[in-house]
Chains A and B, each alone.
Chain A
């Protein structure tokens, strides 16, 4: 079974650091981009950035550039999302998801979609 399993809920104080994880199994983890998605309480989904575990190529959404660090350890099929100094506004649910690329028949192009999602990690930042 293809799945992404995320680390458990975290409660932190402002200014603390944090690293949450997303472990893939059931497929070749190195060959698929992993996206991180934020969902603040009662709000919609926000694309944070993606990483290609095969070579750690990482792309950030402008809103999150410099605010978080996305990394991966391909030896253990795990992607990470990291903060150096948390703020109360980082309180949210964070999802990882696999970005699948499917070739379009008789075409040079590809479909792109987030086809497998982790269960989410709740991060609460409060003094």
Chain B
């Protein structure tokens, strides 16, 4: 089973700052099956990025994804108040999926 490790666990930033979240896989992952989700308290997760770098419908362009192989990154160029949340990476392969443990982006 592929293990995804996200870092840091918590990111303390101010609105307007840039956020860089990392997701590292225990073995190579197809970029086409690497996605990022945002989850706010009391809400279901929401798809942000699929295919490692493609924004889902309605996602602002301040969100971007990059990476390949075992190292992937989610970048939020300028944090808006509504962006403070928990972010998960996820991969799917061989009919199974796994999630990273999440990165919490909190207001500094």
* Chain A residues proximal to chain B, CB less than 8 Å: 35, 37, 44-47, 50, 59, 61-62, 95, 97, 99, 102, 104, 109-115, 117-120
Bound-state CA distance A44–B86 (Å) is: 9
Stretch from B43-51, B67-75, B77-85 that touches the partner: B43-51
Give 4 nearest A-B pairs by CB, closest first.
A113-B50, A117-B44, A47-B97, A59-B95
Any A CB within 8 A of the CB of B61: no
Pair A61/B44 contact, Cβ less than 8 Å: no
| Closest-CB distance, B19 to chain A (whole angstroms) | 18
Query: In the complex, which residue of chain A has the Cβ closest to the Cβ of B94?
Result: A59
Pair B56/A113 contact, Cβ less than 8 Å: yes
* Chain B residues proximal to chain A, CB less than 8 Å: 1, 30, 32-33, 35, 37, 39, 44-47, 50-51, 54, 56, 86, 88, 90, 92, 95-102
23 A-B pairs whose Cβ atoms sit less than 8 Å apart in the complex: A44-B99, A44-B102, A45-B90, A47-B98, A50-B95, A50-B97, A59-B96, A61-B96, A61-B98, A95-B45, A102-B50, A104-B51, A110-B32, A111-B32, A113-B33, A113-B35, A113-B47, A114-B90, A115-B47, A115-B56, A118-B44, A119-B44, A120-B44
